[in-house]
């Protein structure tokens, strides 16, 4: 079976020999090393058989002295297929180019649809997509995955709460949720405002309710600041107390910072490799050679090849290897103290409301032990200390 396939690719012909010396002709071919098979008699003076195309010259030499006539009935195999392809090269070339162009166009971006965004936000999204290379006419192979596009858009555009990215065929679909939703009106039941923490009152802005404390008063947690019960000529009125009571509060932070620390950073070196993935096999097409980085991070993007609306079991894969290196950071004592103070401010701000103000700070303790800076800082903060407390029946009496 294997030899028949080899003979097919090298070329096979079917020959009809007629005349009185056909047996002698066959015998001579056998002596000359010509392989023939499927020999069949056609009448009394004719036979047909198959032979290799490369032995045609030996057949012609034998026929000249045999007195027989030869006729080629069938020609199959590689050489004849190539000859036919050359004859019809224009048709096959045109067909191949058409399929190649169709495949090429099927893997380009031809549409970008954005839903749920205001005109201003949509303009921002389209502008940023253009900067990212997500635009009409761009090959999908050179665009990151939908997850990567989604992540970059969310990080870059502050007006977005969420954006969904989906690639359907040759069109990117973006579903947007913006942050500029109208603020919900808050409705309160009758309540007092009480102190949430120990403080000194520095200012008050009361919208509803009866203040019961003054500026410079010291208050304790739970102490009444603004009453929701307002005296009237004909009795009392119960309202939901609203407003801000700014108080001076105090916090303490503890920061421990090593003078020497090691961590991994990218040094800017990277190597790219491209593959064509067919089923479970990957064929490298660019970026040959072994990855020489000892410490690295690998990022892989896989884009399936499409033909019209169908996704083929062929994918274009690009892998990026980014080299990392270990860096040792050494602070001087002054640098470490300065950095520890910055960390203390960041730490205190993270635990406060965004409207709170740092009025003052003082280092209570500073030491260096075991190659570490230990810093205890006292902060003076101005913040709203009022919180709501429902009015119960006993308060109204």
Of the residues 82, 112, 133, the one at which a domain ends? 82
> Do 362 and 291 lie in a common domain?
no
Rounded Cα–Cα distance for residues 166 and 145 (Å): 10
Q: Are residues 98 and 192 in the same domain?
A: no
Inter-axis angle of helices 119-132 and 146-156, to 10 degrees? 120
pLDDT tens digits along 194-234: 999 999 999 999 999 899 999 999 999 999 999 988 888 77
DSSP H or E stretch at residue 41: strand 36-41
Q: Phi, psi (5° rounding) for residue 356?
A: -70, 150
Last residue of a domain, one of 34, 49, 82: 82
Total residue count of the chain as it appears in this document: 397
Spatial contact of 197 and 245, defined as CB atoms under 8 Å apart = no
- Residue corresponding to tokens 């047909």: 48
Higher pLDDT: 215 or 185? It is: 215
CA angle 216, 221, 223 (to 5 degrees): 70
User: Could you give the CA distance from residue 283 to residue 305 in angstroms, rounded to a whole number?
Assistant: 15
* One domain, residues 252 and 383: yes
Would strands 111-115 and 171-178 be described as parallel, antiparallel, or unpaired? parallel
- Could you tell me the CA-to-CA distances from 198 to 219, 220, 381, 390 in Å, in that order? 6, 4, 12, 20
Q: What is the mean pLDDT of the chain?
A: 85
Rounded distance between C-alpha atoms, residue 168 and residue 175, angstroms: 13
pTM above 0.75, yes or no: no
Q: How confident is the model at residue 21 (pLDDT cuts 50, 70, 90)?
A: confident
Say yes or no to pLDDT of 87 above 60: yes
Residues 310 and 312: their CA atoms lie apart, in Å, by: 6
Phi, psi for 290 (deg, rounded to 5): -80, 145
Same domain, 279 and 353: no
Residues 104 and 181 occupy one common structural domain: yes
**Is 374 a residue whose pLDDT tops 50?**
yes
Q: Choose between 161 and 245: higher pLDDT.
A: 245
pLDDT at 301 over 90: no
219 and 238 belong to one structural domain: yes
* 193 and 179 in a common domain: no
In tens, the pLDDT along 312-351 reads 788 888 888 888 888 888 888 889 889 999 999 999 998 8
| Residue 314 CB partners (closer than 8 Å, separation 6+) | 276, 277, 278, 304, 305
Q: Are residues 346 and 236 in the same domain?
A: yes
176, 96: one domain: yes
Residues 255-267 pLDDT 10s: 999 988 888 888 8
Residue 61 in this model has a pLDDT that exceeds 50? yes
The angle formed by the CA atoms of residues 160, 165 and 166, to the nearest 5 degrees, is: 160
pLDDT greater than 50 at residue 2: no
Same domain, 200 and 287: no
Residue range of the domain that includes 388: 188-259+331-397
Alpha helices in 44-88 (DSSP H): 56-64, 78-87
* Model confidence band, residue 185 (pLDDT cutoffs 50, 70, 90): low
DSSP-derived secondary structure for 110-147: -EEEEES--HHHHHHHHHHHHHHT-STT-BGGGS--HH
Query: Is 174 exposed, middle or buried (CB count within 10 Å of its CB: 0-12, 13-18, 19+)?
Result: buried
In 3D, which of 312, 328, 180 has the Cα closest to residue 261?
A: 328
For residues 152 and 318, give the distance between their C-alpha atoms in angstroms, rounded to a whole number.
Answer: 19
CATH of the domain at 133: 3.10.20.310
Furthest C-alpha separation in the chain: 143
Q: 99 with 168, same domain?
A: yes
Question: In this structure, what CATH number is given to the domain that contains residue 42?
Answer: 3.30.70.260
Do 6 and 126 fall into the same domain? no
d(CA 264, CA 327): 6
More confident residue, 103 or 379: 379
Q: How confident is the model at residue 128 (pLDDT cuts 50, 70, 90)?
A: confident
Confidence check: pLDDT of 153 > 50: yes
Which structure tokens are listed for 175? 């579903």
**How many folded domains does the chain comprise?**
4
DSSP 200-260: EEEEEEEEESEE---TT-EE-TT-EEEESEEEETTEEEE-B-EEEEEEEEEEEEEEEEESE
d(CA 166, CA 160): 17
Domain boundary, last residue among 310, 326, 342: 326
């Amino acid at each position: 079976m294997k030899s028949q396939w080899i003979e097919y690719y090298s070329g096979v012909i079917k020959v009809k020999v007629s005349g009185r010396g056909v047996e002698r002709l066959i015998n001579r071919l056998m002596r000359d090393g010509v392989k023939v098979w499927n020999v069949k008699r056609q009448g009394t003076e004719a036979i047909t058989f198959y032979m290799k195309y490369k032995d045609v010259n030996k057949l012609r030499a034998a026929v000249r002295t045999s007195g027989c006539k030869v006729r080629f009935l069938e020609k199959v195999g590689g050489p004849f297929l190539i000859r036919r392809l050359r004859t019809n090269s224009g048709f096959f070339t045109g067909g191949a180019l058409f399929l190649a162009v169709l495949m090429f166009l099927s893997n380009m971006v031809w549409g970008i649809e954005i839903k749920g965004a205001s005109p201003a936000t949509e303009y921002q999204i389209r502008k940023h997509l253009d900067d990212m290379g997500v635009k009409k006419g761009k090959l999908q192979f050179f665009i990151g995955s939908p997850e990567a596009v989604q992540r970059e858009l969310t990080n870059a555009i502050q007006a977005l709460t969420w954006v969904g990215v989906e690639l359907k065929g040759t069109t990117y679909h973006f579903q947007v949720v913006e942050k500029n939703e109208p603020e919900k009106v808050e409705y309160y039941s009758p309540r007092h405002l009480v102190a949430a923490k120990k403080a000194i009152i520095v200012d008050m802005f009361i919208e509803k309710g009866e203040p019961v404390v003054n500026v410079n008063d010291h208050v304790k947690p739970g102490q009444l600041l603004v009453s929701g019960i307002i005296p009237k000529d004909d009795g009392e009125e119960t309202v939901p107390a609203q407003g801000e009571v700014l108080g001076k509060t105090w916090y303490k932070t503890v920061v421990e910072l090593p003078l020497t620390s090691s961590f991994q950073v990218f040094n800017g070196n990277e190597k790219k490799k491209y593959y064509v993935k067919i089923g479970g096999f990957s064929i490298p097409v660019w970026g040959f050679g072994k990855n020489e980085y000892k410490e690295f991070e690998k990022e892989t993007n896989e884009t399936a090849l499409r033909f019209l609306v169908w996704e083929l079991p062929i994918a274009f894969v690009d892998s990026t290897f980014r080299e990392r290196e270990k860096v040792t950071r050494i602070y001087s004592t002054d640098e470490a103290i300065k950095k520890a103070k910055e960390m203390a401010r960041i730490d205190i701000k993270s635990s406060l409301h965004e409207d709170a103000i740092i009025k003052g700070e003082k280092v209570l303790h500073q030491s260096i032990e075991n190659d570490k800076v230990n810093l205890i800082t006292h902060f003076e903060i101005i913040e709203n200390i009022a919180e709501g407390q429902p009015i119960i029946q006993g308060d109204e009496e």
